[in-house]
Amino acid sequence: MLTAEFTWKDKDEFLDAVYWLRQIISLIMGILWGYLLLQGFIGLFTFLLTNCFVVYLYTTSYQNVDDEEYGGMTEILKEGMMSSFATFLVSWIIVYSAKMENIDPTL
């Protein structure tokens, strides 16, 4: 899975790898965005763009899979998107709220 051009025995194994890659990226980005106190559309847009870009690079450059075997690049990019978005939002909100709690509102 982590080696380049890994031979996938089953279509679902590759899609599972994409799913878990997204989850890891989402958790890291959510923690980072919360720590940096990012807000609003900029945080959401940069997450979606970065998440899709990393999965695209992983699929085309690192694994060199034929996206048509998996229903096209759109299907690969949709794999696990909503659950990774939820992971991102929860981690972002928790870290952001914890950090804002420590900021003096009188400043």
pTM, rounded to two decimals: 0.86
With respect to residue 4, please indicate whether it lies within any of the assigned structural domains: no
Q: What is the pLDDT at residue 105?
A: 65
Find, among 97, 94, 95, 86, the residue nearest to 23 by Cα. Answer: 86
- Residue 44 near residue 89, CB atoms below 8 Å: no
C-beta neighbour count of 87 within 10 angstroms: 19
With respect to residue 55, please indicate whether it lies within any of the assigned structural domains: yes
With respect to residue 19, please indicate whether it lies within any of the assigned structural domains: no
With respect to residue 8, please indicate whether it lies within any of the assigned structural domains: no
With respect to residue 84, please indicate whether it lies within any of the assigned structural domains: yes
Find, among 96, 65, 99, the residue nearest to 79 by Cα. Answer: 65
Find, among 32, 55, 27, the residue nearest to 43 by Cα. Answer: 32
Q: Is the pLDDT of residue 1 over 90?
A: no
With respect to residue 106, please indicate whether it lies within any of the assigned structural domains: no
Provide the number of structural domains found in the chain: 1
With respect to residue 22, please indicate whether it lies within any of the assigned structural domains: no
- Residue 95 near residue 34, CB atoms below 8 Å: yes
33-89: pLDDT as tens digits: 999 999 999 999 999 999 999 999 999 888 888 888 888 899 999 999 999 999 999
Amino acid at 48: L
Q: What is the pLDDT at residue 10?
A: 80
With respect to residue 2, please indicate whether it lies within any of the assigned structural domains: no
